[in-house]
């Protein structure tokens, strides 16, 4: 957010004291309405025009992508294909990633140009549940469920992980729900049992589930309802109930 007078001073190239005259003459509009308050706060997504000429009009973008294996969760990389490289060139501008996936992990990845939205989703205190389907090398037992629920001690950071939900889907496949994202957390948690993780596929973030119509590498815009739901308390509680 920035004050309107500061924005106009930089954008139009006039002194801030002269902005008052522009406003008094009715020459400035914000989101189609005449602006009168020089101290008004505007964001990068407000449509601002001076003398009918648009000086700023950035549209909010929210996308889900089905990340394939072997792709980097980054916007730029000199050696590997990035998730942004998978998008059409006219869709890449200004986007950043909301929560990373490891190089060989697959599944739901979110991208946006709205920093406030992504920050809200990424805050650990929001306890937004992320669900993963994990395949491992050795058979799973009920002891995994109890240990994940208790949390584990990571000696390197000297922390106890938050309780995690583990549901056994088959001898070698589990669904895991996490509300945090420690470095290689899933691999390290299964490593506690000396059980190698073979694949990780993220299927949901909060109440937002990966669209099963999206093939690996494909993406689509989120609906307005999805954008609101994923960051809401209702969406978080719904995700917890679904996982349970």
Cβ atoms of 72 and 102 within 8 Å: the answer is no
Residues ≥6 apart with Cβ < 8 Å to 85: 71
* β partners of residue 97: 111
The active-site residue, picked from 77, 85, 102, 211, is: 102
Quick one: residue 184, left, alpha or beta (phi over 0 = left, psi -120 to 50 = alpha)? left
**Cα separation, 168 vs 63, whole angstroms:** 30
Neighbours of 158 (CB within 10 A): 7
Quick one: residue 207, left, alpha or beta (phi over 0 = left, psi -120 to 50 = alpha)? alpha
Q: What is the DSSP letter of 113?
A: S
**Catalytic annotation present for 102:** yes
Does residue 3 sit in helix, strand or coil? Answer: strand
What is the chain's alpha carbon radius of gyration, rounded to the nearest angstrom? 23
Cβ atoms of 117 and 45 within 8 Å: the answer is no
Any idea which residues carry the catalytic annotation?
102
């Amino acid at each position: 957010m920035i004050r309107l007078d500061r924005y106009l001073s930089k954008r139009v190239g006039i002194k801030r004291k002269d902005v008052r005259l522009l406003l008094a003459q009715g020459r400035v509009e914000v989101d189609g309405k005449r602006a009168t308050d020089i101290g008004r706060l505007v964001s990068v997504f407000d449509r601002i025009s001076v003398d009918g000429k648009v000086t700023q009009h950035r549209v909010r973008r929210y996308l889900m992508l089905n990340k394939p294996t072997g792709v980097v969760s980054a916007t730029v990389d000199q050696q590997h294909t990035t998730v942004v490289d998978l998008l059409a060139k006219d869709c890449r501008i200004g986007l950043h990633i909301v929560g990373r996936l490891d190089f060989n992990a697959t599944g739901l990845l979110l991208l946006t140009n709205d920093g406030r939205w992504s920050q809200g989703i990424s805050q650990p205190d929001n306890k937004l549940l992320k669900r993963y389907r994990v395949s491992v090398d050795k058979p799973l037992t009920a002891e995994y469920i109890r240990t994940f629920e208790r949390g584990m001690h990571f000696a390197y950071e000297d922390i106890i992980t938050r309780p995690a939900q583990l549901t056994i889907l088959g001898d070698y496949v589990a669904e895991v729900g996490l509300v945090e994202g420690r470095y290689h957390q899933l691999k390290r948690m299964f490593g506690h049992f000396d059980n190698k993780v073979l694949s990780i596929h993220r299927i949901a973030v909060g109440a937002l589930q990966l669209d099963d119509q999206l093939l690996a590498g494909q993406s689509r815009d989120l609906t307005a309802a999805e954008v609101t739901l994923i960051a809401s308390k209702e969406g978080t509680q719904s995700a917890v109930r679904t996982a349970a």
